Amino acid sequence: MAVGTNIRTYFEGRWHDGDIAVLRAADHGSWLGSNVFDGARYFDGVAPDLAAHCARVNASAEALMITPTMAAEDMVEIVREGLAAYAKGSAVYIRPMYWAIDGDETAVAPKAGKTGFAICLEEIPMPAESTTVRLGMTQFRRPVLESSVVNAKAGCLYPNNGRMLRDVRNRGFQNALVADAMGNVAESATSNVFMVRDGEILTPIANGTFLAGITRARHMANLAADGTPVREAVLSFADFREADEVFLSGNMTKVTPVTEFDGSHYQVGPVTRRVREMYWDWALSGA
């Protein structure tokens, strides 16, 4: 089921109108989960960090032993061609994806060299600036590289995220603050996380259990240029309970203020508002 509307699909060398079928029942990606994707955004006539997202889907494919077949710069041009069909004021989610078609002699491992590729564009509105989120605790944790392909943006990782969301939503929260295998905070169930305490901005150190996102890096670069560098650190749930501000960072929504973590409440503070302002200024500047 599609999330958005007005969908266009690039498959087998051309753009198609609509949410067309691209996988077959016997494709390795259908029954053994060998698929990766990435997500970029188009809004207000710009697609920030599009090239970085296209490069990352190729890196994710390689991490999952899938052969990438499209150069990142070519992917960018195809996406821009597809976006030309949308009004400048549209908000579009951009999703390039790969999947393995055949398995090797064991069937379980993907066979190198034969790869499916598609790009899906769908209109999904950007959230209102007033949008906030409440976080809860979850029993489920981020996996580690020894057991899962946490160095890829892989579809097979997301059922665990779905468990996290269902777990906390059953208790009235909208998203989860999630631990790594050691019990330290890693991210939320859907995006990276930042906190502010006594004027210092912190984010969980990228320890290999979660993807340190492209938008996360953009916020960190913008803050450093603004004279307020972010410190990556090992952070506990207690640290977040003592925070003055908390916000989420992800491609889909860019900046989402957190107003509660499991009974600890926060205001939407000046740092969160400044991060959002700087991101939009950077994106619309064409830098």
- Annotation: CATH topology of 5-123: D-amino Acid Aminotransferase; Chain A, domain 1 (3.30.470)
Give the pLDDT confidence score for residue 128 in this predicted structure.
93
Q: What is the structure's pLDDT at 287?
A: 57
Q: State the Cα–Cα distance between residues 257 and 133, nearest whole angstrom.
A: 6
Instruction: With residue 75 as reference, give the H or E element that holds it.
Output: helix 72-83
State the chain's mean pLDDT as an integer. 96
Tell me the pLDDT tens digit for each residue of 81-136: 999 999 989 999 999 999 999 999 899 999 998 899 999 999 999 999 999 999 99
pLDDT given at position 24: 96
Q: How far is it, in rounded angstroms, from Cα 274 to Cα 285?
A: 16
Kindly write down the DSSP assignment for every residue of 250-281, as one continuous string: -TTTS-EEEEEETTEE----HHHHHHHHHHHH
Q: What is the mean pLDDT of residues 238-247?
A: 98
Domain ranges of the chain: 5-123, 133-285
Give 29's pLDDT tier (boundaries 50, 70, 90). very high
Mean pLDDT along residues 16-26: 96
CATH of the domain spanning 133-285: 3.20.10.10
Nearest to 127 by CA among 260, 256, 271: 256
Q: Which of 251, 206, 247, 202 is nearest to 229 (CA)?
A: 202
- The pLDDT tens digits for 1-19 are 478 999 999 999 999 999 9
The mean per-residue pLDDT over the stretch 124-149 comes to: 96
Complete DSSP assignment for 170-205? TTT-SEEEEE-TTSSEEEESSSEEEEEETTEEEEE-
- Quickly state the pLDDT bin for 232 (edges 50, 70, 90): very high
Q: What is the pLDDT of residues 162-200, one digit of tens each?
A: 999 999 999 999 999 999 999 999 999 999 999 999 999
**pLDDT > 60? residue 39:** yes
Residue type, 97: M
Query: How large is the average pLDDT for residues 251-258?
Result: 96
Q: List the Cα angle 284/196/261 in 5-degree steps.
A: 105
